[in-house]
Structure 1
Amino acid sequence: MTEELVHILMIDDDEDDYFLVSSLLDDVSPGQYKVDWAGTYNEGIAAIATRQHDIYLIDYRLGQYTGIDILRHFQQINYKAPVIILTGKGDYSIDKEAMTAGASDYLVKGEITAPVLERTVRYVLDEFRHLRAIAESERKYFGIFEKSHDLILLADCDKKIIDANPAALRKLEYSKDELLHLHMQDLFLEKEQGVEFVEEICKEDAITHIEYIFKSKSGNRLDVLVNANMLDEENQVFLCVAEDITQRKREEMEKRQQEKFVISGRIARVIAHEVRNPLTNILLAISQFKVEPISPNPEESSVYLDIVERNCHRINQLVTELLQSTRMMDLHPESVFANQLLIKTLEHAQDRLQLNGIKVEKNFMRPDVILQLDVDKMIIALLNIVINAIEAMKPNEGELTLTTYLEKDKVCIRIKDNGIGIPEENKARLFEPFFTDKTKGTGLGLTSTQNIILNHKGSIHVESAPGKGTEFVILLPQQ
């Protein structure tokens, strides 16, 4: 039983009945109920207007009025409250009329006992609160259903649509009647997708964040992100909420196309710059051959030929780096300890570390873990990161931290520096081909690093902020 004081209004023209009800309730639950009395219809109407009571006990006979008139008054003022009608013995038709008019229950005066009265009041209050909670949930659901910008559909596992919200009707360009005559797979651009969707929801009970393609009545394509859940297991009714992502997908595609255009332009400029310089040297050397006598001096010829050969190698190296930075590569895996891999990488960078006075800290896991890698290629990948870190730190102030540990079934390698950090606008472009903020360099180092790691079924991301250093985080599958 609730510990809150329950306020009861009793509308009855017999004051003795009021005292009897008050006494019965006080006997069975002392201090739990407070009963107020209204002796006439008008007094009752005035007390109802205050809306200060939790439940109402109303005698059916109130002079020229009846309890049914009180119930109708509740309806007129749109006031929902639990009402118990008190009737005389044998007035069964009145009992039925009262329940039809909105009474929560009825009691026969001659049969009222303290336990019956208290239990009836308690049950009616509990039921009213329960129904009010249900009504509030329905109101909220109806508001969401009607006002949501997402497409909301109710369907059964016979694939028939049984309800749809206004957003669904608007975006799919159907009337309510037209849509309710369709089956769920009729909404899909590809029939196979629709059949797969319905079979999946009927088997799995839920579909979460899966993209599908709907079509409108006029045939327009709708890219949607679908969440669906079974609402009624017995009747196999499920709720489908589809977010229209058509515009977002279009914008993403346009953005990707623009980014590809920008990248293509940058690649063209870098290649033009990197190739033009050695080509200029080659052309100058050849022009010297043309102005020389038919039998030039062998020493001078050797100089010009060396220039041509050296610059041809330079062009060839650039093309090779470009191809290797983006293509799938042949790997020759072998067993290597994760910590030992980093030690080997540091050995390749030892001269640079000493020259710049970089302090190295190694936080290696114990015991070490064996990886299956193409060691030479992975050292190249890690060395690119280490060299970038060295160049980002001030000489004699740099601190390079290498950490390894297990993260579920993957080995995590973290390479952290205390350098200048990376601006936010550059972080997303770090692995793009030819992107670099250095005065020298092709911008292919990190592209190649990412490609090597991806070819090993690993992942790499960067955490950085200007002035706070940079940390590369690499995850590699444990073999």
Structure 2
Amino acid sequence: MTDQVQLLLIEDDEDDYFLTADSLAQCESPKFSISWAQNGDQAIEYLKAQSFDLCLLDYRLGRENAIDVLAKLKALAVSIPVVVLTGQADSVVDDLVMRAGAEDFLTKSEIETPRFMRTIRYALVRREIETERMERNRIEQQNKAKDKFLAHLGHELRTPLASILGYTELLLDDHHNERIQPELSTILNNSKHLLSLLNDLLDMSRIMANKLELSPTPLHLASFLTDLYSLMVMQASEKGLVLTVVADSEIPEEITIDATRLRQVLINLVNNAIKFTPGGQVTIRVKADASEKLLLFSVEDTGIGMPADKLDKIFQPFEQIEDLIHANHGGAGLGLAITRELVNRMGGEICVESTLGQGSQFHFTIPLQCDDMSHWVALDLEAPQRITPASINKDLYGNVLIVDDLRDIRRLTGSLVGTTQANVHYAKNGMEALEKIQESHAAKRAFDLVLMDIHMPVMNGIDCLKALRRADIFIPVVAVTAASRKGLRESLLEQGFDNVIAKPIDREALSEILSQYLHTTPTQQALAPKNDSPPSLVVVEDDEDVADLMTMLLTALGYNTTTAHSAKQAISLIEASPDTFDHVMVDLHLPDANGYDLIKALLKLSDGLTFTIISGAETDPEAVADLPVLQSLLKPVSRDDLSQLDIPIRNK
């Protein structure tokens, strides 16, 4: 409650005015500053000139009464608590003024009693509560407007970036452009940098709006660390750096954590270490502390380091160390701020040690959550000093299914296999792999090779293999595992796997496996990876450049592709030929409809369609829960993203 209350007293009797004012003057806290109006019109003039915290209103004002004045206040849109004073109690009058908008009702005989001041205090408290509610509502509306703006900004920036990245990749792949390869690489790298800045900005906005949610799930820790190494080792090698992963203790086989966010934290730290290390090495360390129930991570580098007096700034949003900016390393100063917030939300803490010119060490802890504290294993990752890519025989043909729950690892393995002439297919868990293998087997288009990760959600690799063998499907299945415990290879071979390859995947070992199971000449089976005729797609995208690019990429991948630039065009296409198309790729933000509504409209015209959502904003899980949406892609969509799509031909 404020120390000084601005009060408007509307009273036509001078004696009653002095009586009320004198009673208010005796109050020590709060103090009242009183303005006196003798009728409704004069009160309106006061209210137009200044704001008040409270109004005391006499019921009878000559030819007017309190109900007339309350009506004038309502017409003026004045939000102020009003306590009506009258000469005598009257339940009918009490009810009328309360219905007209008064806060309370008192008789003038109560002015000198404790009830008078208590009523005023209650009215002021209710006023503060209402003010706080309105302020919260205002802030909520501002946040909604900001979220809407950021979603729109993300969409508007991702759409042109899709064209820039996509066409640059196409130009880089054209051997006629060899003389401008450096310039094209510069465009591609800077476009990726812009995309990274955009992702950081949107992540930071979610954190500041407290809208970032964690999704803890079981995680096989050794596989996770090996996958992380596989993703980052090439980037380190390109700078001539040695990247190693070291476990300073045994680690639990499985923990419960949000794997996506843990991976984001480690990638942020490793990316920074590589960026600021001109030579030497980057080391990822992990240690499990059973007594403290903590998992400890460190990312150490031999880079340029930071001065001690600057270290308190680096975790602040939009803060950068000036010397580093001058070194032209770029960035918006959000990566480490996001990293700290993610670690804190996982229940941990992060800190940094650094010596200028010698390197930096980032340490963070997270609570150790694992069901079996006794089942711990040693991590054994043998990191080579330099990556020396072995050549993979390019003249190999066939169908290869890559099964891994991590999209980036699927893409990485697929890019290696894709250097051959083989057709690459993908599945993200054992159940999905089982369905695809059974379908291909029934269609007599059996896979020549399956590269099967062992630790996956829904169905793991071992259970998937057992299900295949029970179904009398004996295609070659090679286990892909990061585990290194003694006897594991023999155990997997005994369970029916045809071979075992370790993570991170070694090119030479992969080359031997591909040479063993794929064909050296094209076969009819290898030439038809999915169906005798490819799926027919409709791409619904209002940006013509993006639509043209996606059409080119999808056509190059073997799809029959038709373009629509609006919801109306898409509806016309499906309405004219409801059985022609298998799949629709829908942009969420169209000029004449949102993507969710369009999907529902198209399903009414042809209920066998399936969909992919492509958008500059993340998909709402609730909005697609009951829709046949096979996958969602975030713009900009690359050729690699599209190559991982698995679009079935519908039953027509």
Q: Please classify the TM superposition score into its range, dividing by the shorter chain length.
A: 0.3 to 0.5
Q: What TM-score comes out, normalization by structure 2 length?
A: 0.28
Compare CA radii of gyration and give the structure with the larger one: 1
